[in-house]
Structure 1
Amino acid sequence: MKTNQKVLGAAICAAMLSLVGCEKASEPKVTAEPKDKTPAQTETTTKENVKLAEVQELVRGNGTEPASLDPHKTEGVPESNVIRELLEGLVNQDGDGNLVPGVAESWETEDNLTFVFHLRKDAKWSNGDALTAHDFEYSFKRAVDPKTAAPYSWYLEMTTMVNAAAIINGEKDASELAVKALDDYTLEIKLEQALPYFVAMTSHTTLKPVHRATVEKFGDKWTLPANFVGNGAYKVAEWVVNEKIVMERNENYWDNDSTVINKVTYLPIENQVTDMNRFLAGEIDMTYEMANEHFKRMQKEQPDSLKVTPYLCSYYYGFNNKKAPFDDVRVRKALSYAIDREAVAKFIVGKGELPAYNFAHQKVAGLQVDTPDYATWSQNERNAKAAELLAEVGYGKDKPLEFTLLYNTSENHKKIAIAVASMWQKTLGVKVNLENQEWKTFLDNRRNGNYDVTRAGWCGDYNEASTFLSLMQSNNGNNDQFYNSPAYDGFMNAAMTAVDDAVRGDNYRQAEAQLAQDMPLAPIYHYVNARLVKPTVGGYPMNNAEDKIYTKDLYIIAK
């Protein structure tokens, strides 16, 4: 998933648990109280044995204004953070990244090709309508329908749902997607290829359900607060564009009795220093990320508030492979080699990020990669090779390469862009024009190829190598680098059809080697997640590698 401005890389733990077949997992962390009494009115929780604050409200920084609240119209992390509160899919994750039941109480498969989900009978929409398997059938078919123009429709193709690819390519009607409500509470999904991690993929934003009657009545305006009907723990109360999104508890949510926080507010704060200062002033409870230059100070001054957790994301610069001179691999390699990743990771971001020489996060479950040759060189050797390659193309001091580096508005991204541009200028004499754009415009221009070189980040949608490597396949709708390699596609297709884990892993290894050879993008570092969280926020997940935070699992502790 595309990142807006997450602060960055380190060791990932917590592989997915129980990917196929599930016994009913333990219920949320705060024990339900009698229905005539909300948890916020009780004095303690049985798990933490802490006194709860009288006011159960949470304010979060969210980086930027969401492009949409329609799960089939979004592709970024800021949007998913909000949608996770408003809509619930078949499965959720707990604080360690393990799968737990969502709308589906249980599921089973005998061959990893046909999956049957059994939905809970007490699930409802926020307007009181019953939530059924027919809602999921409608929603999945809407997501894959070309008429919807979902930026993440390719994700359904990656699940290998039967006919998904043909529907996306306009060869079949969306009604032919192999998702079927066998009855109101039984959903069957058939795949073309056996995927043992398919259930984990269903926790993704694009596979959240939408309320058909509301969508069909209001069209694109169905996400306005007055119209929104969701099935999550919260419902939209107020949305002031570029100011705040306020959500209140959904009394019709199936597990509302176990929810503690009554109201959550998301603020679109793009400047990390502003985010931090508002936290220090007591105006917000949780920042979106940390301002890099203040990290060490916060370690000393706010040790109880600073949270550094694993994060399954990669930070990179993408080259426009269909635009000269970036259609020449020598130019791409020269620019990539001249980036001092060690310096960026240690001094520019400096929170434990890992320098990256391959695309997929190096701690993704089961990933094995060959160390590319350039990763074994000293930075001086990389710089020398970069200058040599650029000279071969005809660029040098007398004819400097000049281009624009695009990034979305963020002080952290700006600092990295300035540092890398300086490296390029010093090593190669390159002239770099920096351009920042607000999130939605940035995404549109990147998707349409209106750039030379762009900042990019990718967060895993599930803990398996394909969540990263499928992005560079020529048929992937989010392949904003326009990379097209039959060899790479071949490795990925072989990996996705492999029955044996070792064969799949070997093809992933070869796919990474192909990326190092073709350099359609320049990996820079692998993330960690660092943010400020008030010590009074209980239940904060420290081991969820995808940073999936559910406010319904949090609570405010009395001071």
Structure 2
Amino acid sequence: MLKIIVPILVLASLIAVVVSLDDERPRADVVLVHGTDLFTLDPQRMSYLHDLRASRAIYEPLATILPDGSVGPAAAESWDVSADASRYVFHLRPGLRFSNGDPVTAEDFKYAWRRAILPDTAATYSSLFLGIAGARDFFNWRSDLLALRAAPDRRDEFIDAGSFPPEEADAILAEDGEASFQRTLDRFDEMVGLDAVDPRTLEVELEGPIPYFLDLVAFGTFSPVHRPTLEAATTIDAVTGRIEEDRGWTKPGRLIGNGPFELARWRFQRDCRFEKNPFYWNAESIPAESIEAVVIQDPNTAILAFEAGEVDWIPDVRAEYRADMIAERLAYEDRFEAILAETGDADLDRTLGSLPPPDAGERRNIHTVDAFGTDFFHVNCRERLTNGTPNPLVDPRVRRALALCIDKDALVERVTRLNETTSGAFVPEGSIPGYQPPEGLPFDPDRGRAELEAAGWRRDDAGVRRNADGDPFPTLDILFSTGSPRYKDLSLALRDMWRRELQIPAEISGRPGNEYRAQLEMGNFMVARGGWYGDYGDPTTFLDLNHSEDGNNHRGYASPRYDELLATAAATLDPDARFRILEEAERILVEEDLPILPLCTYVTVYMYEPDRLRGLTRHPRLDQHPARWSVRR
């Protein structure tokens, strides 16, 4: 035993040294683990989850996602929406300040949103801004301007395409970079429906109603930036007119935000520290004075750091033995089943913390929380496969047969062993207030075999399924990426279920990530691993993937009825009526047509002591806001 304990104690001591090395600051009030370093603290360039989580500490958009998944006010104290839901007027709180004391104004939001729309910025989420009136046309105009300046010999090509009249093209080529950028700013004001009416009023015109626009406004990339800081870090290329920025503006000592915390330290691949912003409008309500994220790449080391008391929260437990840890949590829950059955999600941590401590073989500091994502498999709906042979999966009865023969309980209990919430729907249950996903198809092998036979695939005397022409059912190839054991394990389980329940030949085919993605995008598969996390709090963040013209519709699914329902919902202003239309669209998707085979809601596995860490939400959006976190010492 001593041989085991000593290395653990040494490792824990090393972790403590690394956390505190070269810095005399006291331990932060809340310490969490990042599996990798931050990529950027530029709000308009963010896309990774841990970057966006950090953005909530140092920036504040106009709105915020509340613990129950609804939208509430943040930097804006209120807003007005026109009757046709195409015009929003945001009213900023009085006295808003950046972390250096400068006032926060509507112009700062306009400046930041313009950065996101400009193709120069290469913002991952620029598409979220393109519903603003004129934004898409401006984006295309600016892209063409940059392309013209980079290749003047293409002048006639751009003129013939209607990008510029001849006199404008000539003017663009004759002016220097600064003048070209000023032209861009003027054109933005002319084209885009975004106006800082006064220091506290931002007016937004949309191309048409976007029912979830407030949810977008709460996203981190819609945060303001400190204009003097950005302007000092920005130059204009004299030849191309393209914006070039010194990315160092996001480093400690230079970064200025408007959120509840300010960046105090950021050491590459080691840690970052945030300390309370004294100029934040609601600073008195922030329970923590400081927050620190330490980079621990090895998942086992992260757990050791937690057990040693060096960190308070692991937001993504990835150790190979996490299924065993979850089993210990379930054992603890079994002991207090009656008490916990009467506890809602909002009070679960408080209740857990009040119960007697775990016995041997139990734990209560591991938590599986439903995420805003669904694990599923794609089904190729095209008439023919890429090799030219007929595709039996073009018939929705065959696709329904596959779905009816998936034992999802067995998958989450014995394959993933994470006990995820099984699902027959695409939109995660309970993730969007007011929206009720359909049930989907149950596990019913008898019905599945009936569907397959109704599609003409009957067993002959030798037990081989053949169609009316005598052709045997082709081997069902299940494509997966080899980056995670989960994908292979699920593919093997589905293969065995379909072989056993439907008596059809099936095999699995693993490909490296890039090759798997290429095969998927080419439609070179029959069934393939899938999965999707929602970007915003509306059913369309999932349902749009199956529109016949969507770029993520790798399945070749095309249903005029489904597309029409999505179009009708987009034109419906009444929120309840719109949700009912989308519910019907999803019912068609997961109970009739089955271009996807939903398995379960993804889970995120947290590690924290429920009687110590406060302020986390269990809502599937998992919008964990640092302004709510605290630790009881």
Q: Which residues in structure 2 correspond to 1:361-376 (within 5 Å)? A: 361-363=428-430, 364-368=432-436, 371-372=439-440, 375-376=441-442
The offset of 1:455, in angstroms, is: 4.0
Relative to structure 1, is the Cα distance of residues 494 and 399 closer, same or farther in structure 2, using a 3 angstrom cutoff? closer
Corresponding position: 1:124 with 2:97? yes
Contact 1:69 1:223 in 2 (8 A): no
Q: Secondary structure at the match of 2:60?
A: coil
Equivalence for 1:26: none
Contact 1:125 1:229 in 2 (8 A): yes
The offset of 1:525, in angstroms, is: 0.9
Q: Which residues in structure 2 correspond to 1:267-306 (within 5 Å)? A: 267=294, 275-290=302-317, 291-299=322-330, 300=332, 301=358, 303-306=363-366
Equivalence for 1:163: 134
Equivalence for 1:489: 563
- Residue identity opposite 1:161 in structure 2: I
Equivalence for 1:505: 579
Q: Which runs of 5+ in 2 are unaligned?
A: 1-25, 142-161, 164-186, 236-243, 333-357, 459-464
Equivalence for 1:359: 426
Q: Which runs of 5+ in 1 are unaligned?
A: 1-53
Contact 2:428 2:437 in 1 (8 A): no
| CA distance in 1 between partners of 2:306 and 2:563 (Å) | 46
Relative to structure 1, is the Cα distance of residues 94 and 361 closer, same or farther in structure 2, using a 3 angstrom cutoff? closer
Relative to structure 1, is the Cα distance of residues 360 and 534 closer, same or farther in structure 2, using a 3 angstrom cutoff? same
Q: Deviations over 1:438-470 (max 9, x none)?
A: xxx8999799779963442313622x3233323
Q: Secondary structure at the match of 1:354?
A: coil
Q: Deviations over 1:122-156 (max 9, x none)?
A: 33334443321112112223323444443333333
The offset of 1:202, in angstroms, is: 1.6
Equivalence for 1:142: 115
Q: Secondary structure at the match of 2:533?
A: strand
Relative to structure 1, is the Cα distance of residues 347 and 179 closer, same or farther in structure 2, using a 3 angstrom cutoff? farther
Contact 1:287 1:533 in 2 (8 A): yes
**TM-score normalised by length of structure 1:** 0.72
Contact 2:380 2:556 in 1 (8 A): yes
Equivalence for 2:508: 432
- Residue identity opposite 2:375 in structure 1: Y
- Residue identity opposite 1:515 in structure 2: L
Q: Deviations over 1:60-99 (max 9, x none)?
A: 2345555544333344433322222222111123433444
Contact 2:555 2:595 in 1 (8 A): yes
Q: Secondary structure at the match of 1:286?
A: coil
Identity of aligned residues (%): 23
**TM-score normalised by length of structure 2:** 0.65
Relative to structure 1, is the Cα distance of residues 270 and 455 closer, same or farther in structure 2, using a 3 angstrom cutoff? farther
Corresponding position: 1:378 with 2:441? no
Contact 2:43 2:221 in 1 (8 A): yes
Q: Which residues in structure 2 correspond to 1:454-469 (within 5 Å)? A: 454-459=529-534, 461-462=536-537, 464-469=538-543
Contact 2:532 2:542 in 1 (8 A): no
| CA distance in 2 between partners of 1:86 and 1:419 (Å) | 40
Contact 2:482 2:511 in 1 (8 A): yes
| CA distance in 2 between partners of 1:317 and 1:270 (Å) | 30
Contact 1:340 1:379 in 2 (8 A): no
Corresponding position: 1:221 with 2:247? yes
Q: Deviations over 1:149-189 (max 9, x none)?
A: 433333335xx432345456669975533221111111112
Contact 2:381 2:393 in 1 (8 A): no
| CA distance in 2 between partners of 1:55 and 1:76 (Å) | 26
Equivalence for 1:177: 192
Q: Which residues in structure 2 correspond to 1:1-40 (within 5 Å)? A: none
- Which structure has the bigger radius of gyration? 2
Equivalence for 1:60: 32
Contact 1:404 1:451 in 2 (8 A): no
Contact 1:193 1:496 in 2 (8 A): no
Corresponding position: 1:330 with 2:406? no
- Residue identity opposite 1:494 in structure 2: T
Contact 2:480 2:516 in 1 (8 A): no
Q: Deviations over 1:343-390 (max 9, x none)?
A: 223444566633222211233333345555xx1451465478679599
Equivalence for 2:179: none
Select the residue among 478, 485, 490 that pairs with 1:419.
490
Corresponding position: 1:470 with 2:470? no
Equivalence for 2:86: 113
Q: Secondary structure at the match of 2:532?
A: strand
Contact 1:311 1:529 in 2 (8 A): yes
Relative to structure 1, is the Cα distance of residues 247 and 180 closer, same or farther in structure 2, using a 3 angstrom cutoff? same
Structure with the larger helix share: 2
The offset of 1:305, in angstroms, is: 2.9
| CA distance in 2 between partners of 1:424 and 1:267 (Å) | 41
| CA distance in 1 between partners of 2:549 and 2:113 (Å) | 20
Relative to structure 1, is the Cα distance of residues 450 and 344 closer, same or farther in structure 2, using a 3 angstrom cutoff? same
Equivalence for 2:480: 405
Relative to structure 1, is the Cα distance of residues 56 and 370 closer, same or farther in structure 2, using a 3 angstrom cutoff? closer
Contact 1:288 1:531 in 2 (8 A): yes
Q: Deviations over 1:163-219 (max 9, x none)?
A: 345456669975533221111111112234445653333211232223444263562
Relative to structure 1, is the Cα distance of residues 443 and 398 closer, same or farther in structure 2, using a 3 angstrom cutoff? closer
| CA distance in 1 between partners of 2:126 and 2:519 (Å) | 17
The offset of 1:278, in angstroms, is: 3.5
Corresponding position: 1:206 with 2:221? yes
Equivalence for 1:73: 45
- Residue identity opposite 1:532 in structure 2: M
Q: Secondary structure at the match of 1:405?
A: strand
Corresponding position: 1:316 with 2:376? yes
Q: Deviations over 1:306-344 (max 9, x none)?
A: 445554432234468898479958179377666432222
